[in-house]
Amino acid sequence: MRALALLLTLTTLIGCATAPLAAEAPTVEEADDQVATCKIAKDPLNPLVVEWPGTAKVDLEAVSKRSVVVVSYRGCTLKVLSACSAKGKYQFVDTTPTRDKVAIGSATDLFARLPLGAASLKGELQAGSTLELDYVAVGQHLAGAPGKLTGDCEGATHYVRSMTVGAYSLDAFASAAGAAEASLGSAGAGVGRKEQVRRLRGAGDVDACSKAGSRSTCSAVLQLGLTPLAGAPGAAGEGDLGTASSAGADGPEDGVVSRKAEKQAYKLREGAFQKFNGGDAKGCLADLDRADKLDPTTADEGYAQSFRYMCELLAGKCSQGKARMASWFKRWGGPNGFSPQQATQMAELHSKGKCK
């Protein structure tokens, strides 16, 4: 229950929420457990995977070469189900290199930005270090909704619709206090030999990949785009939602969204996605409209907008759906979004054959 409130109230991190909330968003230090803290991820359906274990990345690459990747995603744990097959293939779309840096100085920042690697990186922050992720995205591998799942698919919750690739480096910077301690500790061993910056992870050449035309070392997977599978229970991003059957038609009073309304709206959007999978475009849009009325503060969130453009395309609202999809790619299509021209091209490509 509390985990969902954390996720929804923190949507202001990406500048989408406009109405005031009933209470300030709690910090991760106040959360009950690891699963709860993972719910504050900035964009849980588009996680960065730079701190993902090497074996997981190998599984991802191997499976993606033969079919659409199916995963089990709960809390801070994302696992590739390598024995599960889903008919489909990925198509690579080249984009203009887009570079960005992310500074992480607190546990709250860590779980919001790098939820999949938070457990292994918490120690760095507790030791007084700050983290900096420097990355550049050069393209995406994209796939449509997969066909029937076959093989051992127990625990499947999502499929990987996109893999953003490029190069990255993740460094730890010692705090002033930490640097001072290191300096004192090195007395007698030579002044100035302390190490203030440590490379924790990295793949490819960020500087080289930032230059157009350079692609030889730019294939590291940076971010995954995930879509829930129909009927998958307990998937990350859902939480303890209760039921939506009691969701009323009234919007928030005085612009303040109650936690009950937040949960009902989220459940309605999940239900809308299930109706989309069942081919019920009208029901899908009706549920989304009810959710937006209950909680307008999250109506412009990435997951809500992606559900809406899919339902619009299914309903035959082609222009409207493509425009919304282009807007989505511009804001959330990669670690730093796409240019307007790239977003339009991606929308045209990704909506092909999907508008009824």
Highest mean pLDDT pick, 11-20, 103-112, 132-141? 132-141
How far is 297 from 83, CA to CA, in rounded Å?
40
How far is 297 from 262, CA to CA, in rounded Å?
9
Residues 6+ apart with CB under 8 A from 194: 174, 179, 182, 183, 185, 186
Residues 6+ apart with CB under 8 A from 297: 8, 11, 16, 17, 18, 19, 21, 257
List helix spans (H) across the chain.
2-9, 34-38, 54-64, 107-113, 118-126, 176-185, 206-209, 259-277, 281-294, 302-314, 318-332, 340-351
**Residue 182: pLDDT above 70?**
no
**Phi-psi sector, 69: left (phi>0), alpha (psi -120 to 50), beta:** beta
**Residue 136: pLDDT above 60?**
yes
pTM: 0.58
Highest mean pLDDT pick, 83-92, 142-151, 237-246? 83-92
**Residue 33: pLDDT above 60?**
no
Residue 86's SS3 state is strand
Q: Which residues sit opposite 149 in a β-bridge?
A: 86
pLDDT in tens, 223-251: 998 888 865 554 454 433 333 333 344 55
pLDDT in tens, 300-354: 777 788 889 889 998 999 999 899 988 888 876 655 567 788 888 888 877 877 7
Could you tell me the maximum CA-CA distance found in the chain, to the nearest angstrom? 75
pLDDT in tens, 187-217: 444 444 344 888 888 888 899 888 866 666 7
Mean pLDDT of the residues in the chain: 74
Give the pLDDT score at 286.
94
Enumerate the domain spans of the chain.
45-228, 259-351
Of the pLDDT bands very low, low, confident and very high (cuts 50, 70, 90), residue 39 is low
How far is 56 from 49, CA to CA, in rounded Å?
10
